[in-house]
Structure 1
Amino acid sequence: MEFDAVLLPARRATMIAQGLWHDRTINQDLDACLAACPDKLALTAYRVDAGDVRRFTYRELAQMADRVAVGLSRLGVQKNDVVACQLPNWWQFTVTYLACSRIGAVINPLMHIFRERELNFMLQHGEAKVIIAPKTFRGFDFEQMITAIQPGLPDLKHIVAVDGQGANSFEALLSGPAWENEPDAASILSAHRPGPDDITQLIYTSGTTGEPKGVMHSANTVMANIIPYAQRLQLDAEDVVLMASPMAHQTGFMYGLMMPIMLKASAVLQDIWEPKKAVEVINTEKASFTMASTPFLTDLTRAVAEGKTPVPTLKTFLCAGAPIPGPLVEQARAALGTKIVSAWGMSENGAVTLIELNDPDERAFTTDGLPLPGVELKVVEIDASGPALPAGHAGKLYLRSCSNFGGYLKRQHLNGTNAEGWFDTGDLARIDAQGYVRITGRSKDVIIRGGENIPVVEIESLLYKHPAVAMAAIVAYPDERLGERACAVVVTKPGQSFDMPTMVDYLKAQKVATQYIPERLDLVDAMPATPSGKIQKFKLREQLKAMLSPR
């Protein structure tokens, strides 16, 4: 595969001079762990449905990474070849990435919820040579699905099934044979190790606005984010990182897979989110940090409160992906005794803003944090890209970051980064006088009603505070006179009712201007969402359009 990561070369000299790129790969970090703490527990992987727990010391993890690396080379995987990995949070996911890094291959993490439509696009676009997937997971046969679409994927040479029964199983091809002891293993493991500017990860955007784009990252770009992220959160080798968010998403990959190794810390994986099980895992493994989206925090808070089982080791819960309702922060603090940290980021950059640990709790639900070192932000007029607006003014958010990606694979025209390095995030935001950012929406989510911009996120936040509302999103629908009107789409809590008069009375009581109150309410059972929990508003708009179209 030829990677067109055109955004990397022009930044290299500056990033190195400023100490923001560290010129190392995960290989050096794993080797450092092997040298410094070989017998320390590196990885604990819980398979909830199977009732299985697998543990690796750093010595065992490095050995298995070498074994699988040589096994991949036996399948014809060479430097810059793409290895797709459609696994839940299983130990094989971690080992696959480490193995790819040993031989210069590029991992392509794929969410386990993807089916034929998504896989056909991503595997073809990314030219994956090998895909590693479960034989079955949660009752679905992945091997059968991928085998059915393989004829239309000329680059895909091998389907490797974890827990498979035949010759194509992960166990038979990769983790079973002692490949690391073969005569040519040493040369295979040393000949094609990647450099820090080589592409190490190809990850597709979640698709909140349509067709996914292949985000290319080097070791330098991802580590430029992970290192200051860990420093702000005061994480070190003594921490135990719980990761129940999918490692096929940047949250799980960067902070559940890579970061613990970089810190010489311990990682704990949970493959199926069950809140009561998470409480048990936290207490058994003495987890001190986790990162996940708002629903995870809600579930964990409820499980601890209802079960009256404290989680005293859990120091920090970083919550990202959507605004955190204020009442949830208060409830979580009371139930968990844990610092709740808000953050904002993208697949293209990682989490680039987060609050400080010593910030007041209210910062977690009124802001999305401060930029990390090496990150600059500016807000400009929505219809321009000129000078930054004064503090407190909302507009389009631009970002210039040491962790900015290398570009979109085969889509240079969509890279959204100008000659000065400013990346158009596609988000709307405001930055206060202290430098804290608040994401106020997506540029595509702007609703202009009769020439007046509706503050979408602020109204959504108010709706979240209503006791009957579990989830809320506001989207536009066309209006002949005003151009657009606003529709509130709401999922109610079990046993609760919510209707248009209730919504209007509630928002008026919150002193919302009449023109900002949605003029339509749709109640739904569930929101269309990305694997990371972000609501797909483009799908809501499509559904609304279909509903309103004349029959």
Structure 2
Amino acid sequence: MNLITDTSFRNVTLAAVAEERARAHPEDTALLFDSGVRLSYDDAWRQANRLAQAIQTLGVKPGATLTFQLPNIPESVPLAIAASICGLIINPVVPIYRGKELGFILGDAKTEILFIPHRIRGFDFVQMIQELQPGLPHLRHVICCGAEDDLPADMLRFETLIDEASTEPAPIATVDPDDTKVVLYTSGTTGNPKAVRHSHNTLAKALDNGVMAWGLNDRDMMLMPSPVTHVTGYVNGIELPFFTDTNVLLMESWIVDRAVELIETHQATTCVSATPFLRELVDAARHQGKDLPSFRLFACGGAAVPSALIYEASEVLASCRAVRVYGSTEVPLVTVGFVGDGETQLAAETDGRVCNYEVRICDDDGNELGLNVDGEIWVRGPAMMQGYRDADQNAAAFSEDGFFKTGDIGQLLESQAIVITDRKKDIIIRGGENLSAREIEEVVMLHPAVAEAAAVSAPHARLGEGVAVFVTLYEGDAPGLSDLTALCAEQRLAKQKWPQWLGVLEEMPKTPSGKIQKAVLRQKLQADAVQLS
């Protein structure tokens, strides 16, 4: 079904629209932060220019990769604009990634300049980078934001970089809007993250699809708790207020009572984030006896979205339509929910209306199926990624005529809705984040007693899914769960990937070809009523 209605592109860069906003509306608010910081369009442009001057003085040339691993703090906004001014490829990396994941990404991206925080919740990012640097020959400059004490001699302070930079307008690099603008690494069924490439045009189109479907305008304010290093937070957090008239309120970390306060204080109207945040917001609003009348839309996806939660949100929040949306880093916002009058049931019981994509439902041989039939979801559209950096990954991911094979199983309905019924991809979706099962298994298999390991999703009370691991053993004592988490820590695996449940089997259920039947393992968890928390 071809539901593409607009193939036009903006053909502009973030630098161009930020400069225009600063010229036309210098004192208007671009973004607010939960720390109390207000960033006007003029503030953002001036800071970005000074940072761009500093980056150019360091000798970083157009086409180089700039990586940043920052939380939702004010520095992230001029940083993104400065990268655009300099013609750099920007590579946002979520702050929860540790040495194993970050080392791979920095090496694969050939990062030349890196921006990090000093510490978050006690974790020392400076120390982590010091440990990784010997294996990263392309990494020339490391800049620390908010340094708390002395830094190694080869690291720079963000504040010093800005203060010492020229105040003259930085020369703006000439780039083609169809060139690669951002590389985002996403976990999949293979162990290492995949490098997803988006151009200036494809990423702006993803933003425009949401703006068009949800009617965002100058009366809206987007509350954004999703990380700006994730495609949702980057597009709807950093870029939205420059490409549109909608302001943004960034939360550095999700604290539900603080979110309620911010919505009330600033009359926030919309949010695009993970399912657990909607669950907590509805519970907090009910507990506090507040219906948050300014709040009109919460679009959520990633982790499974119970239909009952969508209905409940409309009952508790006076003006809010909560919707289920579907997409990925590769194909952002394939569906946009249902926001029209009389569409609450569709909003609750489907995964959203397809917006500006062409969708096929295919069998295992690539034959197109009809409506209301389960098959793999294939999509293509103007907001689709340019492709993976790895050519072999592209060959497996795309059909001959350019459809992206999502790996998800679902149906296409007459209402132009998608309903997800299963997943082909062997990933675990924890609070909206994709976790690679294979990556977890590879670490668990390092334990000397483990012969085989299978990581699968288990129901999680708050996050939708968590990590359960089944193992078979060589002769000897079985490891305990604490042994495996200690091994994960030793291997510098991000904490959200650590197993929360361990099952020991005499043998794995397998297909005749020897592949572990993970569906059988998930059924066992369901039969045993396993529930993580």
TM class by shorter chain equals 0.7 to 0.9
**What residue identity is the alignment partner of 1:20?**
S
Aligned mates of 1:362, 1:209 — CA distance in 2: 37
Aligned mates of 2:526, 2:213 — CA distance in 1: 43
Q: What is the aligned counterpart of 1:398 among 363, 378, 384? A: 378
Answering whether residue 291 of structure 2 is matched by residue 310 of structure 1, we say yes
**What residue identity is the alignment partner of 2:271?**
T
Contact 2:26 2:40 in 1 (8 A): yes
SS of aligned partner of 1:130: strand
In structure 2, do the counterparts of structure 1 residues 367 and 208 end up closer, same or farther at CA, with 3 Å as the change threshold?
Answer: farther
The residue aligned with 1:389 is 369
Q: What is the aligned counterpart of 2:28 among 40, 59, 63? A: 40
The residue aligned with 1:379 is 361
**What residue identity is the alignment partner of 2:198?**
H
| Offset from partner CA, 1:216-258 (integer Å, 9 cap, x none) | 1101111122112201000012211111011111110111111
Deviation at 1:56, TM superposition (A): 1.1
Superposition RMSD in Å: 2.8
Question: Which stretch has the larger CA shift, 227-236 or 69-78?
Answer: 69-78
Deviation at 1:484, TM superposition (A): 4.2
Aligned mates of 1:97, 1:259 — CA distance in 2: 12
**What residue identity is the alignment partner of 1:122?**
I
| Offset from partner CA, 1:248-271 (integer Å, 9 cap, x none) | 111101111112221132111111
| Offset from partner CA, 1:49-103 (integer Å, 9 cap, x none) | xxx3211111111111111111111222211111110001111112111110011
Deviation at 1:368, TM superposition (A): 1.2
Aligned mates of 2:137, 2:525 — CA distance in 1: 49
Answering whether residue 509 of structure 2 is matched by residue 478 of structure 1, we say yes
Aligned mates of 1:439, 1:377 — CA distance in 2: 13
Q: What is the aligned counterpart of 2:142 among 159, 164, 178? A: 159
The residue aligned with 1:104 is 87
Superposition pairs for residues 258-297 of structure 1, below 5 Å? 258-297=239-278
Deviation at 1:443, TM superposition (A): 1.5
In structure 2, do the counterparts of structure 1 residues 207 and 485 end up closer, same or farther at CA, with 3 Å as the change threshold?
Answer: closer
Contact 1:369 1:436 in 2 (8 A): yes
Question: Which stretch has the larger CA shift, 267-276 or 35-44?
Answer: 35-44
In structure 2, do the counterparts of structure 1 residues 354 and 488 end up closer, same or farther at CA, with 3 Å as the change threshold?
Answer: farther
**What residue identity is the alignment partner of 1:355?**
G
Aligned mates of 2:6, 2:291 — CA distance in 1: 44
Superposition pairs for residues 136-151 of structure 1, below 5 Å? 136-151=119-134
**What residue identity is the alignment partner of 2:321?**
K
In structure 2, do the counterparts of structure 1 residues 95 and 302 end up closer, same or farther at CA, with 3 Å as the change threshold?
Answer: same
Aligned mates of 2:114, 2:424 — CA distance in 1: 35
The residue aligned with 1:357 is 339
Superposition pairs for residues 248-259 of structure 1, below 5 Å? 248-259=229-240
SS of aligned partner of 1:427: strand
**What residue identity is the alignment partner of 2:245?**
K
Answering whether residue 423 of structure 2 is matched by residue 442 of structure 1, we say yes
Deviation at 1:27, TM superposition (A): 2.1
Answering whether residue 55 of structure 2 is matched by residue 75 of structure 1, we say no
**What residue identity is the alignment partner of 2:13?**
T
Superposition pairs for residues 153-232 of structure 1, below 5 Å? 153-164=136-147, 165=149, 166=151, 168-173=156-161, 175-181=162-168, 186=169, 188-190=170-172, 192-207=173-188, 210-232=191-213
In structure 2, do the counterparts of structure 1 residues 356 and 104 end up closer, same or farther at CA, with 3 Å as the change threshold?
Answer: same
- Using the size of structure 2 for normalisation, the TM-score is 0.79
Contact 2:188 2:425 in 1 (8 A): no
Deviation at 1:124, TM superposition (A): 0.2
Aligned mates of 2:143, 2:520 — CA distance in 1: 46
Aligned mates of 1:136, 1:518 — CA distance in 2: 37
The residue aligned with 1:330 is 311
Aligned mates of 2:462, 2:404 — CA distance in 1: 35
Aligned mates of 1:349, 1:376 — CA distance in 2: 11
Unmatched 5+ residue regions in structure 1?
1-15, 47-51, 447-462, 490-515, 527-551
Aligned mates of 2:54, 2:219 — CA distance in 1: 33
Aligned mates of 1:470, 1:94 — CA distance in 2: 28
Question: Which stretch has the larger CA shift, 61-70 or 34-43?
Answer: 34-43
| Offset from partner CA, 1:181-209 (integer Å, 9 cap, x none) | 3xxxx4x423x142201211010013465
Answering whether residue 309 of structure 2 is matched by residue 347 of structure 1, we say no
Aligned mates of 2:193, 2:64 — CA distance in 1: 20
The residue aligned with 1:234 is 215
Aligned mates of 1:286, 1:239 — CA distance in 2: 9
The residue aligned with 1:119 is 102
SS of aligned partner of 1:385: coil
In structure 2, do the counterparts of structure 1 residues 518 and 206 end up closer, same or farther at CA, with 3 Å as the change threshold?
Answer: closer
Contact 1:67 1:180 in 2 (8 A): yes
Unmatched 5+ residue regions in structure 2?
428-457, 471-507
Aligned mates of 1:248, 1:64 — CA distance in 2: 20
Contact 1:428 1:440 in 2 (8 A): yes
Aligned mates of 1:87, 1:43 — CA distance in 2: 17
Contact 1:473 1:488 in 2 (8 A): no
In structure 2, do the counterparts of structure 1 residues 413 and 469 end up closer, same or farther at CA, with 3 Å as the change threshold?
Answer: closer
**What residue identity is the alignment partner of 1:176?**
D
Deviation at 1:414, TM superposition (A): 3.1
| Offset from partner CA, 1:11-31 (integer Å, 9 cap, x none) | xxxxx9964322122222212
Residue identity over aligned pairs, in percent, reads: 29
Q: What is the aligned counterpart of 2:405 among 407, 424, 438? A: 424
Contact 1:486 1:518 in 2 (8 A): no
| Offset from partner CA, 1:105-150 (integer Å, 9 cap, x none) | 1110001011110111000000001110111111111111112211
In structure 2, do the counterparts of structure 1 residues 147 and 354 end up closer, same or farther at CA, with 3 Å as the change threshold?
Answer: same
Q: What is the aligned counterpart of 1:245 among 226, 230, 236? A: 226
**What residue identity is the alignment partner of 1:343?**
V
Aligned mates of 2:353, 2:324 — CA distance in 1: 10
Aligned mates of 2:415, 2:524 — CA distance in 1: 30
Aligned mates of 2:338, 2:347 — CA distance in 1: 9
Aligned mates of 1:231, 1:107 — CA distance in 2: 26
The residue aligned with 1:59 is 42
Contact 1:398 1:425 in 2 (8 A): yes
In structure 2, do the counterparts of structure 1 residues 385 and 473 end up closer, same or farther at CA, with 3 Å as the change threshold?
Answer: farther
